[in-house]
Structure 1
Amino acid sequence: MRKPVLELKEVTFTYPGAEQPVLREVSLKLQEGDFIAVMGSNGSGKSTLCKCFNGLIPHYYTGDFEGEVLLRGESATGKSVSQLSRHMGYVYQDFENQLVRPTVLDDVCFTPLNYGLADYRERGERALALTGLSGMGSEFIWQLSGGQKHLLALAGALAMDPDILVIDEPVAQLDPQHARQIYDILRRLNEQHGKTIVVIEHHAEFIAEYCHSVVLMDGGRLRWHKPVREALSSVEELLALGIYPPDVTRAAWMLQP
């Protein structure tokens, strides 16, 4: 059996000044090598959930936190975001804010260099190769397209060779070609390099083609965690939350007697 790389136990979190928790008693296991989509309507707690994975909650975003997070069976309590980020890369929806240096190679090397790793350049070049950006090291950030900037943010997360990658809405600001390119890269990282991939996603067609399982958040609670085929076949339940399964699945559901 695969081992859980990350586990949440009864996690509840409330932002300062909020009347209600944004996460309510969430328990979840991420298995090694899984490719997971986190779905839910706006305000369901998807992004807040994922910020618990790498310690941004409760270490960076303050609030009332209850429960426990385990990374490879060890409690994350007392570990800093810096320590946890060695094992977990995160690409935010506003990925351009992650680009902090003037050139591509400078940017991708930034994290391992700041950790004092002697092989920071090799790590950066390897990450660029994994994301299809080899040969662009001397390019300035402002010269890149939106898709290339997203790939560079992903490369920056990969430079530390983390076990887990979390990508918040990977295709939200991308054209169809770059959207598929991102998912093809994520698939290779999952299948060939053993990375556990978590995407916050609402495009059901990408989920159906690339993901293994789906987590559904609803009102701050984890409603279920199911294999992708079973998850996307829950048509009536998803539609009630404003989530649209793939067209072919909806069509088959509508034709049922």
Structure 2
Amino acid sequence: MGNLFRDNLIGGIKSMFKRFVIIAMVGVFGLAGFIGSEKPAAASQVTFTSEMHGSKNLTNHGMIKYYVKADAKKYQGDIQAAANKWNHALGRRLFRPTSSLTQSRLAFTGTTQLAAGYAGMAEVNSGVIALNDRWMKRYSHQKRQAVVIHEMGHTMGTSDLYDYSDPILRRQFKRLTIMGGNYHTTMTHFDVSLAKWSLKKTHVMSNATFQGYRANQGLFYQQMIHGKL
């Protein structure tokens, strides 16, 4: 079912990463709570593989319209900053805000219902990013922004790289890449190239398919609407 990335906060900052769980069946990607930082560096040149992307992205007519639910308004600045950074890095306005939940392909919500170890979760199928208030309220703007940037990366189809099968690359990804979970807000050439490549390699859901996912009671969208997320 995937991999779980958690934090190990024993006696202060002893370990930067635990494991993630990616529930690939429903397109859920989690980012666990983290304290600590490392200076960003350029990632090594590697060959992109199918292991680096999922099966779908959230684009619709070449954009991803996002809606910020009332309980996530406190993160509005961080969300806007993250969207601006991705748009600038990609060289186009991929992420665009909307005031209509029904017109959105991506909805942000703030919640205390996620497992304690998660700072954020992205469910690509139903188009929801849930931000864990327990972690986010402890973070600086920079760290909150990093969580949002990482989760928005999943909406373009990119998978987490912190559990990549090649052990040498896995260590590099963890240290050097946004999707490796390094909590940087500076995007490297690798981060941007991977996002663009993922958009090309994954498919766009039809509106009927997307709305079908959003109608699924077991997925994040319906849980969010009914106050269970």
TM > 0.5 between the two? no
Find the structure with the greater CA-based Rg: 1
TM-score interval, normalised by the smaller of the two chains: under 0.3
TM-score (norm 1): 0.25
Structure with more strand by fraction: 1
TM-score (norm 2): 0.27
